[in-house]
């Protein structure tokens, strides 16, 4: 079977290796999954560069999340699970960019067999990240303002949809004016563009209100520009740093305005949360994906044989949607 791996860290399209290996056999407590679709996420690219929070031992299989169908089970797993369509929980223990993968049975969660495969394949990381960013740090009353940098990202689109479901108002920052209509159509209350009109546009959107929660996946100037618009006692949650800059604000804002700064990594949640609670959370979000409430644009799909082109495409800035491997 085909599998993608790295033997050294570096530029993803340069270090990726397409290898042939024997299909795995599920051990006791495991299931064997034939992959249907698996996304390429920014975290995958960081891992391949050796700049992620998890640095695997080399050579390392690649891919963090995806969906497929169970084709075999090991001892102590009900044979009736064969044929199930499942989400592979993104524990970083399994490489999903391969034809088949053996995973612990508890890491293979049933999903809607009739839902769109590409949308369901993205369930593992981005929708859950958006949901946890909104729910885990601040108890927000209906009508509160949530702002986010990186509004045109996949996480950004899920934040907009989930905020609307929760009765919250969302303000998204994007770099390109052409990204504005899609976010407004998805339910964003306001969208502003990086540039000299930022402050005026935010003032028009908020009026006398202020932001209770700032969700940041960019860092750098995007955070600094938002700080004056944060409410007293508000919270900033950092989950990414696409700009390469720091998360910076003045000591006066931290001390006198009581602004709290938190970090978020989904792996910490997966490690400390009982698996029953994890499964319930994915079931809830999976139903929203299946109903079309949660969705993200897809710009292209590739086969494993096209791995270099796929990774180069995923690394491009200004993409209109996600890039996935599909079988």
Q: What are phi and psi of 251, to 5 degrees?
A: -55, -35
Distance in angstroms (rounded) separating the CA atoms of residues 244 and 213 = 22
For 32, 107, 230, 232, the CA distances from 223, given in Å and listed in that order, are 44, 36, 10, 16
Q: Let me know if 302 is a catalytic residue.
A: no
Query: Residue 212: in which H helix or E strand, if any?
Result: strand 211-216
Cβ contact 326:117 at 8 Å: yes
Chain-centre distance for alpha carbon 42: 8
SS3 labels along 226-250:
HHHHEEEEEEEEECCCCCCCCCCCC
Cis peptide preceding 311, ω within 30 of 0: no
Question: Which member of 52, 158, 239, 282 is catalytic?
Answer: 52
- Catalytic residue positions? 52
């Amino acid at each position: 079977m085909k599998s993608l791996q790295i033997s050294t860290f570096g530029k993803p399209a340069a270090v990726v290796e397409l290898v042939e290996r024997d299909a795995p056999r599920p051990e006791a407590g495991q299931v064997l999954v034939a992959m249907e679709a698996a996304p390429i996420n920014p975290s995958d690219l960081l891992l391949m560069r050796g700049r992620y929070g998890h640095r695997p031992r080399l050579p390392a299989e690649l891919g963090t999340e995806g969906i497929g169908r169970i084709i075999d089970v090991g001892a102590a797993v009900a044979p009736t699970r064969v044929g199930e369509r499942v989400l592979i929980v993104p524990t970083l223990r399994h490489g999903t960019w391969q034809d088949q993968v053996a995973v612990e049975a508890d890491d293979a969660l049933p999903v809607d067999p009739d839902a769109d495969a590409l949308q369901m394949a993205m369930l593992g990381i981005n929708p859950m990240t958006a949901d946890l960013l909104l729910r885990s740090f601040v108890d927000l009353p209906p009508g509160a303002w949530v702002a986010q940098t990186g509004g045109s990202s996949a996480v950004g689109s899920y934040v907009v949809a989930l905020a609307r479901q929760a009765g919250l108002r969302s303000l998204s920052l994007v770099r390109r004016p052409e990204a504005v209509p899609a976010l407004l159509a998805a339910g964003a209350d306001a969208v502003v563009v990086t540039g000299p009109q930022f402050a005026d546009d935010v003032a028009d959107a908020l009026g006398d209100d202020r932001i209770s929660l700032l969700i940041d996946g960019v860092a750098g100037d995007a955070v600094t520009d938002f700080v004056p618009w944060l409410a007293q006692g508000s919270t900033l949650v950092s989950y990414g740093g696409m700009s390469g800059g720091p998360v910076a604000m003045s000591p006066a804002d931290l001390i006198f305005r009581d602004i709290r700064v938190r970090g978020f990594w989904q792996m910490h949640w997966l490690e400390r949360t009982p698996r029953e609670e994890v499964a319930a959370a994915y079931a809830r979000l999976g139903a929203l994906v299946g109903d079309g409430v949660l969705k993200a644009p897809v710009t292209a799909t590739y086969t494993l044989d096209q791995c270099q082109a796929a990774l180069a495409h995923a690394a491009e800035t200004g993409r209109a949607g996600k890039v996935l491997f599909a079988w």
